[in-house]
Amino acid sequence: MLAFRPVKSHTVSGTVKDENGNPLSSVSIKQKGTHKGTFTDANGSYRITITSSSGTLVFATLGYETLEQKVGGKSVINIVLRTKNSLMQEVVVTSDFKASKKMVTSNIARGYNSPLMGTAPGIYVERDNTSYYRSNDEEYIDFNREGYDKITENQFMKVKDNPLSTFSIDVDAASYSNVRRFLNQGQLPPAGAVRIEEMVNYFKYEYPQPTNKDPFSINTEIADAPWNKDHKLVLIGMQGKKIPTENLPASNLVFLIDVSGSMQSPNKLQLVKASMKMLVDQLREEDKISMVVYAGAAGIVLKPTSGAEKTKIKDAIDKLEAGGSTAGGAGIKLAYKTARENFVKNGNNRVILCSDGDFNVGESSDDAMERLIEIERKSGVFLTILGYGMGNYQDAKMQKLADKGNGNHAYIDGVSEAKKVLVNEFGGTLFTIAKDVKLQIEFNPAKVQGYRLIGYENRMLAKEDFNDDKKDAGELGSGHTVTAIYEVIPIGVKSHFLKDVDALKYQKDITPLSKTNHTQELLTVKFRYKAPDGEVSKLIEHPVLDKQIAISNTSDNFRFAAAVAQFGMLLRDSEFKSEASYDAVLNLARKARGNDEEGYRSEFIRLVESAQLLTKAKPQHKIDKNKEEEEESMPIGKY
């Protein structure tokens, strides 16, 4: 009888940097000839276990030359990737849409590193006034197929006409990582991609844990607005109760994974697989995992399996391949059906959808998908949506589905973001501690003449919705923080932002508060929330005294949140940005970096610097209808 020696695996770790010694994040590392793969983290570090110590590793990322490195028994391999310096042809659009070609150096050749992984090098170009990604096989990916809703900014409201401001909380952070993706590609993001509340809430803030029976603490702070010295900022921060992982209820999770043809690129399905494996590593024996996939049709590829069987689950994930059309509606129905059949009473029942949102078969319109999700959420199953990819990413659709499905939404632009969402913030992403959380702010007309909520445009509610327990609102996860910022105009300040209307004929004027009637209160914050399995809301009230301090004396929480909000207004070119500037953002953020162990705040500062450079470099183009060519060559990428 022949004796076979077991194949010994081999682990390799190291770093990947560019020629200037800067770490490269989200570099794809694969064992040649196998499906074994991983990505570098934010520090350029990686670790991979391969099947043979004599194998070959392939290092690849957009804008850099792909490198193959023989392992040769080494356990540490540090890599330097060289920037692609090749000249590519750019298609320049003329006034009558005739194209001429000019030789230009791409953004990628200039050294912009994209976090989007791929083994095929490519270039971003302008063609027919549209952004495209061109790979070596001349495939053009239309960036205008990405779907973003138009955002109409919240206006300043007069307190005497509108003393109440009502909105739903939002713990999503998809906008920030998506904006980061654009900036890392050397492009300014479209205005519709910039949701300021999601950018602010991407970061953790050091609010105190709740000390009573309520699932969150309420914190407020007031100071001058950095971009308008005559205005004030009011920060309202909520801190969700942190529940230790070992004390979290048992989970019934259904992975719903899009394996349609649109998910074939490496920065989609390959990154989905890496993300799901990270999540699997967090699971316990009492947790159950099922996996549903959909392309032209939907099917179950993994029946409910204990979280202890990690190898079995990961093997099922490794077998996923992409191809076909996208029957998203059928997949959602099957995933919810699977979750209902395995429902854990008093547990965490959730569908986790991984997709680019490009549904095109069956129920695929926004209205049809929203109605489907609204019906399915009645089962008590929550929804987490993880968005992937570029070119056809349907941000608006993903956002709406998460809102309608008692859920949250994150955009995964690289393996580091997957780790943040599914490992570092595991409880907040997947475990709801309060649902239908609504806020209503009543402003004191003796102190405030006008206000506006910064961001939350798609979360605004009618004042009557606050007391209506049938009205859906946002969810708060374990350990999550939620931050909202109001810009207020004090009494006596002249402002062109406040618009006058004719005096009312039949209404009496509001009498200012007397000196003995709450004169020290600037506003009152009211909260309503339900238990995760509850149907009746609980009310909390929190009056805020007018105790303003200099912004230099505010907390790191206040100053950093104000910096992010100001950055968002600059990216949106907000009509309310007043004296906002990138230098002011950087000054605030650098001084409020605080304890930044994970490096997210430092990364923010780098992104602001990139945006500042891109804004200064943004060219103005003139088109002469009588000429065959533009007077200036078009830029690579869409600004």
Q: Are the C-beta atoms of 452 and 172 separated by less than 8 Å?
A: no
* pLDDT surpasses 60 at 625: no
Beta strands in 331-430 (DSSP E): 348-355, 382-387, 407-411
Same CATH fold assignment for domains 10-80 and 157-243+434-494+519-616: yes
Q: How far apart are CA 433 and CA 594, in angstroms?
A: 28
| 521 three-class SS | strand
Tell me the two tokens of residue 522.
């600037």
Q: Which residues pair with 228 in a beta bridge?
A: 225
Q: Which of 431, 51, 60 is nearest to 279 (CA)?
A: 431
Helices 366-376 and 395-404 meet at what angle, rounded to 10? 30
| pLDDT grade for 272, boundaries at 50, 70 and 90 | very high
Query: What are the strands of the beta sheet with 157-158, ordered from one edge?
Result: 157-158, 448-453, 481-490, 228-240, 216-225
Q: What is the pLDDT of residue 114?
A: 35
User: What class is the 10-80 domain?
Assistant: mainly beta
Buried b (16+ CB within 10 A) or exposed e, 367-389: eebbebbeebbeeebbbbbbbbb
User: Thinking of the domain 245-413, which architecture would CATH place it in?
Assistant: 3-Layer(aba) Sandwich (3.40)
Would you kindly state where each structural domain of the chain is located, as residue ranges? 10-80, 88-145, 157-243+434-494+519-616, 245-413
pLDDT tens for 235-254 read 999 999 998 888 889 999 99
* pLDDT surpasses 60 at 592: yes
Q: Are the C-beta atoms of 342 and 304 separated by less than 8 Å?
A: yes
Tell me the two tokens of residue 615.
């804004």
Q: Are the C-beta atoms of 390 and 148 separated by less than 8 Å?
A: no
| pLDDT grade for 364, boundaries at 50, 70 and 90 | low
Q: How far apart are CA 112 and CA 125, in angstroms?
A: 14
- CATH fold, domain 157-243+434-494+519-616, is Immunoglobulin-like (2.60.40)
| pLDDT grade for 569, boundaries at 50, 70 and 90 | very high
* pLDDT surpasses 60 at 106: no
pLDDT tens for 381-428 read 999 999 998 877 888 888 888 888 788 899 998 888 999 999 988 888
Q: Which of 331-340, 353-362, 401-410, 506-515 has the lowest mean pLDDT?
A: 506-515
* pLDDT surpasses 50 at 219: yes
The predicted model scores a pTM of 0.76
Query: Angle at Cα 341 formed by Cα 335 and Cα 347, nearest 5°?
Result: 90
Q: Are the C-beta atoms of 233 and 523 separated by less than 8 Å?
A: no
Please identify which residue in the block is written with the tokens 């929190």: 542
Which is more confident, 626 or 331?
A: 331
Kindly tell me the sign of the dihedral angle through the C-alpha atoms of 419, 425, 427, 429: negative
Q: How far apart are CA 528 and CA 535, in angstroms?
A: 12
Q: What is the pLDDT of residue 9?
A: 82
Q: Are the C-beta atoms of 551 and 223 separated by less than 8 Å?
A: yes
Q: Which amino acid is at 542?
A: H
Query: Angle at Cα 614 formed by Cα 611 and Cα 615, nearest 5°?
Result: 85
Q: Which of 193, 202, 206 is nearest to 237 (CA)?
A: 206
Q: Are the C-beta atoms of 30 and 36 separated by less than 8 Å?
A: yes
Q: What is the pLDDT of residue 366?
A: 64
pLDDT tens for 517-532 read 567 899 999 999 999 8
Query: Angle at Cα 258 formed by Cα 253 and Cα 262, nearest 5°?
Result: 160
Tell me the two tokens of residue 6.
């077991």
Q: Are the C-beta atoms of 414 and 39 separated by less than 8 Å?
A: yes
pLDDT (mean) for 180-204: 93
* pLDDT surpasses 70 at 559: yes
Q: Are the C-beta atoms of 239 and 481 separated by less than 8 Å?
A: yes
pLDDT tens for 251-268 read 999 999 999 888 887 778
Query: Angle at Cα 639 formed by Cα 152 and Cα 173, nearest 5°?
Result: 55
Q: How many CB atoms lie within 10 A of CB 150?
A: 9
